[in-house]
Structure formats: structure tokens, C-alpha cells
Amino acid sequence: MNLEEEILNANKTGNLILGYRESIKFIKLNKAKLVVVAKNAQEKIIKEVEHNAKIAGIRFELFDKSSKELGILCGKPYPVSVLVIK
């Protein structure tokens, strides 16, 4: 299963958490299975999320498209820079 299919599946089942702050909370609580960050997110955000995911032992993926395209994939009318699949 590729990354886009995983995101679509999680969205259908309600296992998707959107947004930087909420994602960081789930990573620190170790309730995440996968963390996805859009390629055009701020470098500071990418590094912080990747660092926290690495510490928690959670899979980290850099989405090869923009935050706007990630938002569309999640069915949202706004950009999504960071998301977590629980």
C-alpha cells in the first residue's frame, strides 16, 4: 500500500489527525503509527516532527507534494502540513 492509499484509508476510518500541534501531542503520547509532513512545510517543523517521531520510534514520511495537495487528499479545503495516522 502506498502512502496516498494509507492516508485515504485512515481518513475513511477516522484515524487521521491533522495539524502540527495535534500531531506533536499524539507523537509524544506515542499514539501514532505514521507521521506525514508535506515537502513545503517549514524546515523547522519538518526537523522537529522528524526528531520527535524518531525518539518515539514512529514511522516518518515526507510527502512528495505540497501542503495544499495533502489537504485535498484528506478532503479538506485548506492546506495540511502535518498529519498523523493513529
> Domains of the chain: which residue ranges?
3-85
Q: Which residues contact 21 (CB under 8 A, 6 or more apart)?
A: none
Closest CA to 69 of 49, 46, 41: 41
Superfamily of domain 3-85, CATH level 4: Ribosomal protein L30/S12 (3.30.1330.30)
Closest CA to 21 of 39, 48, 40: 48
Question: Tens digits of per-residue pLDDT, 70-85?
Answer: 999 999 999 999 999 9
Question: Tens digits of per-residue pLDDT, 17-28?
Answer: 999 999 999 999
Question: Tens digits of per-residue pLDDT, 28-64?
Answer: 999 899 999 999 999 999 999 999 999 999 999 999 9
Closest CA to 53 of 80, 82, 74, 76: 82
Closest CA to 52 of 23, 86, 10: 23
Contact 71, 27 (CB under 8 A): no
